[in-house]
Chain A
Amino acid sequence: MPVVADRRQPAGAAAEPVRPVLMKGNEAMAEAAIQAGCDAYFGYPITPQAELLEWMARRMPDLGRVFVQAESELAAINMGLGAAATGARVMVSSSSPGISLMAEAMSYMAGSEVPVVLINVMRGGPGLGSIGPSQADYFQATKGHGHGDYRVPVLAPSSIAEAVELVPEAFVLAERYRTPVMILADGVMGQVMEPVVPTFRMPPHEPGGWELTGADGRPSRVLRSLHLRPEDLEAHNRTLQAKYATLAEREVRWAGEDLDDAEIAIVAYGTAARVARTAVERAREQGMRVGVFRPISLWPFPSRELAEIAPRLRAILVVELSAGQLIEDVRLAVEGHAPVYFHGRTGGMVPTPGEVLDALRTAWATTTAVAARSLAEVDARDEPDPLSLIEQGAWVALGWPGAAPEFDEELDPIQLIYR
Chain B
Amino acid sequence: MTMTIDTRRRIYRRPALLTDRPTHYCPGCGHGIIHRLVAELLGEMALGARTIGVASVGCSVFAYDYLDIDFVESPHGRAAAVATGVRRARPDAFVFTYQGDGDLAAIGTAEIVHAAARGERFTAVFVNNGIYGMTGGQMAPTTLLGQRTTSSPMGREAGLAGYPIRITEMLALLPGVAYAARGSVADPRAIGRTKAMLRRAFETQLPGGGFSIVEVLSTCPVGWGMTPTEAMEHLAMNVVKTYPLGVLVDRLAANKAAIAGGAGTAGSTAGEA
Contacts and interface: CB of A to CB of B under 8 A. Distances in A.
Interface string A63-95: 000101011101110111111111110100000
A79 B82 contact: yes
B90 interface: yes
B190 to A, nearest CB: 30
Contacts of A80: 85
Contact of A74 (B51, B78, B87, B118): B78
B59 to A, nearest CB: 12
A105 B72 CA distance: 13
Interface string A192-233: 000000000000000000001111110011111110000000
Interface string B44-61: 000011111011000001
B75 A86 contact: no
A78 B110 contact: no
Given A81-B82, A84-B85, A85-B52, 19 more contacts: A66-B88, A70-B114, A78-B74, A78-B81, A80-B85, A81-B85, A82-B81, A86-B90, A87-B89, A90-B89, A105-B78, A112-B72, A214-B48, A215-B51, A216-B50, A220-B70, A220-B71, A224-B64, A225-B73
Interface residues of B, number: 35
10 contacts: A68-B88, A71-B110, A81-B81, A82-B84, A82-B85, A83-B86, A85-B82, A86-B52, A214-B69, A217-B49
Q: Chain A interface mostly helix, strand, loop or mixed?
A: mixed
Interface in A107-142: 108, 112
Interface in A32-78: 39-40, 42, 66, 68, 70-72, 74-76, 78
Q: Which of A84, A112, A224 has the most CB of B within 10 A?
A: A224
Contacts of A281: none
A81 B81 CA distance: 9
A215 B114 contact: no
A115 to B, nearest CB: 13
Residue in B73, B75, B83, B87 whose Cβ sees the most chain A Cβ within 10 Å: B75
A258 interface: no
A104 interface: yes
Given A86-B93, A215-B49, A40 B73 contact: no
Interface string B158-188: 0000000000000000000000000000000
Given A85-B72, A86-B93, A223-B73, A216 B88 contact: no
B86 A82 contact: yes
Contacts of A90: 85, 89
Contact of B88 (A40, A71, A212, A224): A40
A215 B89 contact: no
Contacts of A225: 73
A124 B48 CA distance: 49
Nearest to A85: B72
A76 B55 CA distance: 18
Given A85-B86, A86-B89, A220-B69, A79 B81 contact: yes
B78 A78 contact: yes
B84 A79 contact: yes
- Residue among B70, B78, B93 facing the most chain A CB atoms (10 A cut-off): B70
B250 interface: no
A220 B48 CA distance: 10
Given A74-B110, A105-B78, A112 B86 contact: no
B203 interface: no
A75 B111 contact: yes
A214 B93 contact: yes
B70 A222 contact: yes
A351 to B, nearest CB: 38
Contacts of A68: 84, 88, 118
B75 A78 contact: yes
Contacts of B118: 68
Nearest to A112: B73
A131 B71 CA distance: 39
Q: Which of A112, A215, A217 has the most CB of B within 10 A?
A: A215
Contact of A214 (B50, B74, B110): B50
B70 A212 contact: yes
